[in-house]
């Protein structure tokens, strides 16, 4: 019997693929939709990070596909409805990189408060401007965590060491639960009005897109620092740009953007913005964990075993039953 074809369409550490030695592993550039569709015609499994858009057209081009495994957390690059309708399992690696993202968040909060990126650029340009870069301490500040899920909680735990007051907004978390993470739960408007630093840890969904816009930024304390290591589009970038230009927001640290890469974004020209190219999960440890978990999902799915982090398992079973009845 032919070996199942596993298509890898984003960079993954090669050693994490070792668990698939018995499979026919092929690679393609998932950022090229036509190349992806062509490669998918023979694939039984697809392994991605966030660079590959697994849209309805990609799914339609993959008649043998059984599973899409995401080496990472966010699934906004996978059309889960289209996959489910085609009987394709979708699985992610939900905790693989949360520690790396939380650590980067803490680093970016301090980088924003201290103007680290602009100061470094000035130094590299041959200047020595010690007076120009006067930042603020984190101790004594109030930090608002928007989204108290896996990453938000780790951020809360780490920030506790900095002698800050922690607030949180999360409609899915009870106040008592937030309190166990050292956070006082508030509505978003209250959190915006009381925080010196706001850090965002949400998935991008229709409900969270544009959640922090002009109105919310207008509620903020003078000199707010806004940090986003979750997904672009949750913070309205044009509202943020205006607020930074007008000085009503003091600084921002952005690892994620509405459109990635954010070519031509005026935010990148502002000294008050610390910007990194979606590096939250880019540590050796996180990539290793994410790769191994995604490979495990492929292995289990192709062997017909339950896949622990499949997000659509029940719906796929009914869809497969419907599809085989039609056959």
Minimum CB separation from ligand MLT for residue 280, in Å?
A: 5
Nearer to ligand MLT, 185 or 211 (CB): 211
CB contact set of 239 (below 8 Å; sequence gap of 6+)? 212, 213, 214, 217
Minimum CB separation from ligand MLT for residue 95, in Å?
A: 10
Q: Is 30 in the site for ligand MLT (CB under 6 A)?
A: no
**Does 246 participate in catalysis according to the annotation?**
no
Number of neighbours of residue 172 by Cβ within 10 angstroms? 8
Residue span 114-153 as binding mask against ligand MLT, x where in contact by CB under 6 A, dash where not: ----------------------------------------
Given the residues 181, 278, 292, 309, select the one marked as catalytic.
278
Q: Is beta strand 24-27 parallel, antiparallel or unpaired with respect to 197-200? A: unpaired
The sheet carrying 24-27 orders its strands as 24-27, 5-8, 45-48, 67-70, 89-91
Nearer to ligand MLT, 97 or 265 (CB): 97
In 3D, which of 212, 216, 242, 241 has the Cα closest to residue 228?
Answer: 212
Minimum CB separation from ligand MLT for residue 209, in Å?
A: 16
236, 242, 243, 248 alpha-carbon torsion, rounded to 10°: -170
Joined tokens for residue 300: 């289990």
**Does 27 participate in catalysis according to the annotation?**
no
- The interface region with ligand MLT, picked from 16-24, 72-80, 130-138, 243-251 by CB under 6 A, is 72-80
SS3 label, residue 24 = strand
Task: Compute φ and ψ for 17, nearest 5 degrees.
Answer: -85, -5
- The interface region with ligand MLT, picked from 70-78, 116-124, 149-157, 235-243 by CB under 6 A, is 70-78
- The binder of ligand MLT chosen from 16, 52, 84, 97 (CB under 6 A): 97
Q: Is beta strand 197-200 parallel, antiparallel or unpaired with respect to 224-228? A: parallel
191 touches 198 (CB < 8 A): yes
Beta strands in 88-218 (DSSP E): 89-91, 142-146, 165-169, 183-185, 197-200
Q: Is 16 in the site for ligand MLT (CB under 6 A)?
A: no
Q: Is 111 in the site for ligand MLT (CB under 6 A)?
A: no
Minimum CB separation from ligand MLT for residue 74, in Å?
A: 3
CB contact set of 197 (below 8 Å; sequence gap of 6+)? 109, 112, 113, 138, 141, 142, 143, 144, 164, 224, 225, 226, 227
Nearer to ligand MLT, 97 or 112 (CB): 97
59 touches 52 (CB < 8 A): no
**Does 129 participate in catalysis according to the annotation?**
no
23 touches 17 (CB < 8 A): no
CB contact set of 107 (below 8 Å; sequence gap of 6+)? none
- The interface region with ligand MLT, picked from 69-77, 127-135, 137-145, 306-314 by CB under 6 A, is 69-77
Minimum CB separation from ligand MLT for residue 234, in Å?
A: 12
Minimum CB separation from ligand MLT for residue 158, in Å?
A: 18
Counting residues that bind ligand MLT (by CB under 6 A) gives 8
Q: Is 50 in the site for ligand MLT (CB under 6 A)?
A: yes
Q: Is 72 in the site for ligand MLT (CB under 6 A)?
A: yes
Residue span 267-306 as binding mask against ligand MLT, x where in contact by CB under 6 A, dash where not: -------------xx-------------------------
Residues annotated as catalytic (active site), given as ranges: 231, 260, 278
Site of interaction with ligand MLT (CB under 6 A)? 49-50, 72-74, 97, 280-281
């Amino acid at each position: 019997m032919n070996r199942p074809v596993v298509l890898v369409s984003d960079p993954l550490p090669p050693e994490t693929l070792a668990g698939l030695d018995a499979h026919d592993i092929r690679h393609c550039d998932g950022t090229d939709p036509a190349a992806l569709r062509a490669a998918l015609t023979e694939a039984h499994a697809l392994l991605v990070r966030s660079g590959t858009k697994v849209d309805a057209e990609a799914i339609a081009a993959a008649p043998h596909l059984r599973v899409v495994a995401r080496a990472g957390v966010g699934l906004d690059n996978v059309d889960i409805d289209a996959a489910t309708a085609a009987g394709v399992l979708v699985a992610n690696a939900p905790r693989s990189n949360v520690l790396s993202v939380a650590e980067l968040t803490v680093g970016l909060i301090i980088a924003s408060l201290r103007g680290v990126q602009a100061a470094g650029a000035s130094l590299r340009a041959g200047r020595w401007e010690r007076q120009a870069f006067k930042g603020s301490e984190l101790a004594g500040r109030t930090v608002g965590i928007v989204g108290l899920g896996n990453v938000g909680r780790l951020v809360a735990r780490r920030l506790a060491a900095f002698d800050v007051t922690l607030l949180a907004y999360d409609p899915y978390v009870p106040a008592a639960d937030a309190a166990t993470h050292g956070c006082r739960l508030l509505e978003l408007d209250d959190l915006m009005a009381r925080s010196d630093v706001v850090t965002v840890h949400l998935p991008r969904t229709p409900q969270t897109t544009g959640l922090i816009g002009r109105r919310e930024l207008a509620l903020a304390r003078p000199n707010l620092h806004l940090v986003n290591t979750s997904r672009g589009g949750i913070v309205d970038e044009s509202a943020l740009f205006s607020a930074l230009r007008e000085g009503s927001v003091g600084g921002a640290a952005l690892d994620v953007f509405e459109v990635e890469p954010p070519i031509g974004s005026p935010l990148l020209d502002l000294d008050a913005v610390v910007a990194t190219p979606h590096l939250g999960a880019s540590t050796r440890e996180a990539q290793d964990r994410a790769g191994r978990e995604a490979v495990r999902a492929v292995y289990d799915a192709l062997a017909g075993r339950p896949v622990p982090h499949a997000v659509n398992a029940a719906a796929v079973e009914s869809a497969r039953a419907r599809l085989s009845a039609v056959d």
